[in-house]
């Protein structure tokens, strides 16, 4: 058996196991999923060195006023919520739609989307890694024509499952390239809704440095290009976890600076909008993501900011 065949077989085996687990968990009620996540969360904090380290560093940047004890408590809560998100993937992608809809017990700010569309404007939903963004995708694609960019998973055999789960309520997934950007523009011009990940670092050349909790983070500049060409309304959308009850969908007005034609100013508004959503419950943000990965240039420009080594 060739090395390529061995690797393909291994990945297929991984995909089969993961898909089986998703299907199994999709049948569990939310309270049971959350109890399971509460059991696994402390183990993730203890044994997942990479996730614990990145979370701790990010929290030290973002909440310097907290004591070590307070930051550790928040880190444990955050990893518990991140574990819950992973446990909920099968639920979001495979559970009966009626079950998921019933689990969304509150929706706040829907009028922002309805009003924009009534005015003939599209809506750009900034969807940070907060709560369960897959539940947010489910709700948006259930109630509006919705388009979002999609990057295939590293395990190729999982792509059909993930794509079906995200598209089953009508969402249109487009590639993360110029063709995908063109599709987003067309959707906005049809007064539809699109989704953008505002807190994921883009490739070099596709962003600018802008403050995120007072420290520069490399931030995508796609938003001002879309706004300038479509006059779309921008909101931040999250699916807040309500343990024991379900989810609350929140749509918040984006910071006004997102409408600036200046990329740097718009990026400041994007990060401020993400901060406002995190304020709903800081423990539900995915702090284990390396948001300050591209800091070399920022450190060269502001050496006084190097109070500790990142990552």
pLDDT digits (tens, 9 = 90+) for 172-214: 999 999 999 999 999 999 999 999 999 999 999 999 999 999 9
For residue 244, what pLDDT is reported? 86
Q: Compute the distance between CA of residue 263 and CA of residue 266 in angstroms, rounded to an integer.
A: 5
Which of residues 243 and 136 earns the better pLDDT score? 136
For residue 311, what pLDDT is reported? 81
For residue 33, what pLDDT is reported? 94
pTM of the model: 0.91
For residue 245, what pLDDT is reported? 93
Residue closest to 293 by CA, chosen among 220, 221, 217, 222: 217
Mean per-residue pLDDT of the chain: 92
For residue 7, what pLDDT is reported? 57
For residue 121, what pLDDT is reported? 96
Q: Compute the distance between CA of residue 137 and CA of residue 155 in angstroms, rounded to an integer.
A: 21
20: pLDDT strictly greater than 70: yes
Residue 294 pLDDT class (50, 70, 90 cuts)? confident
Residue 310 pLDDT class (50, 70, 90 cuts)? confident
Residue closest to 233 by CA, chosen among 252, 220, 249: 252
For residue 299, what pLDDT is reported? 59
Q: Compute the distance between CA of residue 239 and CA of residue 144 in angstroms, rounded to an integer.
A: 16
For residue 44, what pLDDT is reported? 87
Average pLDDT over residues 105-130: 97
The angle that helices 263-278 and 222-230 make with each other, rounded to 10 degrees, is: 100
Residue 138 pLDDT class (50, 70, 90 cuts)? very high
- Under DSSP, the state recorded for 65 is T
For residue 271, what pLDDT is reported? 98
Strand partners, 138: none
Please answer whether residues 154 and 147 qualify as being in contact, where contact means their C-beta atoms are separated by less than 8 angstroms. Answer: no
- Name 211's Cβ contacts closer than 8 Å, sequence gap at least 6: 217, 268, 271
Residue 295 pLDDT class (50, 70, 90 cuts)? confident
Q: Compute the distance between CA of residue 247 and CA of residue 236 in angstroms, rounded to an integer.
A: 16
For the chain, give me the number of helices (H) and strands (E)?
13, 9
For residue 13, what pLDDT is reported? 83
80: pLDDT strictly greater than 90: yes
45: pLDDT strictly greater than 90: no
pLDDT in tens, 49-72: 999 999 999 999 999 999 999 999
For residue 296, what pLDDT is reported? 53
For residue 47, what pLDDT is reported? 86
For residue 222, what pLDDT is reported? 95
Percentage of the chain beyond pLDDT 70 is: 92
- When mean pLDDT is compared across 74-78, 90-94, 152-156, 208-212, the lowest value belongs to 152-156
């Amino acid at each position: 058996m060739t090395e390529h065949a061995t690797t393909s077989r291994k990945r297929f085996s991984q995909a089969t196991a993961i898909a089986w687990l998703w299907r199994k968990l999709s049948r569990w009620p939310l309270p049971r999923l959350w109890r399971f996540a509460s059991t696994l969360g402390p183990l993730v904090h203890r044994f997942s060195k990479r996730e614990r380290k990145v979370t701790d560093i990010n929290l030290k940047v973002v909440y310097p006023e907290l004591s070590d004890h307070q930051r550790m408590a928040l880190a444990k809560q955050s990893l518990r919520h991140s574990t819950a998100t992973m446990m909920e993937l099968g639920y979001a992608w495979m559970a009966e739609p009626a079950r998921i809809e019933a689990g969304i017990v509150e929706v706040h700010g829907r009028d922002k989307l309805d009003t924009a569309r009534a005015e003939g404007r599209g809506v750009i939903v900034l969807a940070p890694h907060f709560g369960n963004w897959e539940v947010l995708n489910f709700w948006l694609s259930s109630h509006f024509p919705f388009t979002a960019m999609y990057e295939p998973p590293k395990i190729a055999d999982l792509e059909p499952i993930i794509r079906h789960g995200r598209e089953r309520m009508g969402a249109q997934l487009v590639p993360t390239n110029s063709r995908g950007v063109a599709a987003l523009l067309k959707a906005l011009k049809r007064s539809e809704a699109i989704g953008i990940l505002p807190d994921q670092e883009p490739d070099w050349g596709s962003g600018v440095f802008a403050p995120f909790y007072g420290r520069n983070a490399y931030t995508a500049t796609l938003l001002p290009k879309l706004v300038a060409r479509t006059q779309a309304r921008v909101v931040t959308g999250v699916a807040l976890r309500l343990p024991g009850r379900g989810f609350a969908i929140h749509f918040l007005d984006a910071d006004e600076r997102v409408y600036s034609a200046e990329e740097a100013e718009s990026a400041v508004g994007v990060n401020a909008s993400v901060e406002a959503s995190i304020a709903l419950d800081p423990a539900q943000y995915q702090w284990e993501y390396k948001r300050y990965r591209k800091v070399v240039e920022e450190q060269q420009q502001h050496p006084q900011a190097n109070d500790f080594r990142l990552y």
